[in-house]
Chain A
Amino acid sequence: MLWPVGLWRMWWRLWAAGLPAESLGHRRVASGVSLPGSTSPRALNIFDRDLKRKQKNWAARQPEPVKFDYLKEEVGSRIADRVCDIARDFSLALDLGCGRGYIAQHLSKETIGKLFQADIAENALKNSLETEIPTVSVLADEEFLPFRENTFDLVVSSLSLHWVNDLPRALEQIHYVLKPDGVFIGAMFGGDTLYELRCSLQLAETEREGGFSPHISPFTAINDLGHLLGRAGFNTLTVDTDEIQVNYPGMFELMEDLQGMGESNCSWNRKALLHRDTMLAAAAVYREMYRNEDGSIPATYQIYYMIGWKYHESQARPAERGSATMSFGELGKINTLISEGKKSQ
């Protein structure tokens, strides 16, 4: 009776080998091809979200996570500043891609009544920082928010939107879960981030290997950000940019810190291997081209801060055409006009 069993096993092996990867449950989609069943034809699959979750989990499990937190702490405090600048209290807020919760520790429970912290990495949520605001931790992907429409007064997101595949859809989802007259305050890495590292790796790889592949993930340009927010339905947009320059002893320390922050590359089109020769060459080029006077090397992080409001009748609107009472030609006499106005009052 051994013969039929052996034959069955051979058939099973042939069948398993011939089956395409998708139906085995693996998401091995080439970049630029949209998944079957995705809602928008413009959906791109640039980043491996599964790998990003693993990287963030690994980073959060490090023995000394505080060592790599400096950048996220700084940006988190700046976002908290912007929240405090708005003269309002928010009863329900959402922190998207919160990491260990860098924004909440700078805010008081008078400003925010209850905070939902959402991230894709469970270790980061488990090790979250102390805050006086009552929080609820939710394991959620930025592109698939499990909340109802018109839920939140405030949505904040600090340095996590640069890893989402479909940024227009993520912004639309944020707009969806906001209440009318709710506000979204976000920060994400921008076009010039780590340009020194990108250039050094490019030059070194070209010289050593004859060609180069992208090692830094693609970033959004600032013009596109304004358009994306407008398309998602946000009003009264504010987008501003900030550059933080951090000095490192060398390129290897920079790369180690990036890995410790959970910001390693996870694009589908990344090269799996970086040769030691290329790394050595890139470190030499980086040092020679960009070093500071004291021998350290700078790394630039360009942060885009964006603020967008969900429409509500009470918000200021542009006036109707033809409703002007003054003409621009009278601008030169504005002082006399103002004093006349005050006298008539």
Chain B
Amino acid sequence: MSANRAVWGRVRSRLRAFPEQLAACGGQAAAYGRCVQASTAPGGSLSKDLCAREFKALRSCFVAAAKKTLDGG
């Protein structure tokens, strides 16, 4: 049971750093959000990977921010 708790603790501590890392990628997040929002307009349809390009940019920014906090913190 303590092994589960250790894994859970690690996952939660990683999750707790998410907001900070997301804040560093405001531009990419806004671009992705706009792309998804545009597909909800009348006449648009949302399918898988419709905004894959924007998401890839967001994810790489996010991973870079995570690495920075890992090296710095």
| Chain A residue at minimum C-beta to C-beta distance from B26 | A287
Main secondary structure of the interface of A (DSSP, over half): helix
* A250→B19 contact, CB < 8 A: yes
> Cβ of A288: which chain B residues have Cβ within 8 Å of it?
29-30, 32-34, 36-37
Q: Is the CB of B37 within 8 A of A289?
A: yes
The interface-forming segment of A33-41, A199-207, A337-345 is A199-207
Task: Evaluate contact between B50 and A207: CB separation under 8 angstroms.
Answer: yes
Question: C-beta contact mask, B36-60 vs A, less than 8 Å → 1, else 0?
Answer: 1101100000111111000100110
Residue of A249, A280, A284, A285 ringed by the most chain B CB atoms within 10 A: A284
How many angstroms from the CA of A280 to the CA of B66 in the assembled complex?
13
Q: A299 vs B40: C-alpha distance in the bound complex, in angstroms? A: 20
**Given known contacts A207-B46, A252-B18, A287 and B33 CB-to-CB distance under 8 angstroms:** yes
The answer to whether A284 and B19 have CB atoms under 8 Å apart is no
Quick check: is A279 within 8 A (CB to CB) of the other chain? yes
A277 touches B (CB below 8 Å): yes
Q: How far is the CA of A251 from the CA of B41 in the complex (A)?
A: 23
Q: In the complex, which residues 247-272 of chain A have their Cβ closer than 8 Å to any Cβ of chain B?
A: 249-250, 252-253, 256
Q: How far apart sit A249 and B40, CA to CA, in the bound complex (Å)?
A: 24
Check A249/B19 contact, CB under 8 A, given A206-B48, A208-B48, A277-B59. yes
Q: Are A207 and B37 in contact (CB under 8 A)?
A: no
Q: Are B49 and A284 in contact (CB under 8 A)?
A: no
Q: What are the residues of chain A within 8 A of B16 when measuring CB–CB? A: 252, 256
- Closest chain A CB from B30 CB (angstroms): 6
A297 to chain B, nearest CB (A): 11
Partner of B15, one of A210, A252, A284, A285: A252
Query: When A and B form their complex, which 9 residue pairs have the shortest distance between CB atoms, in order from nearest?
Result: A288-B33, A210-B48, A284-B29, A250-B19, A284-B32, A284-B33, A252-B19, A285-B33, A285-B36
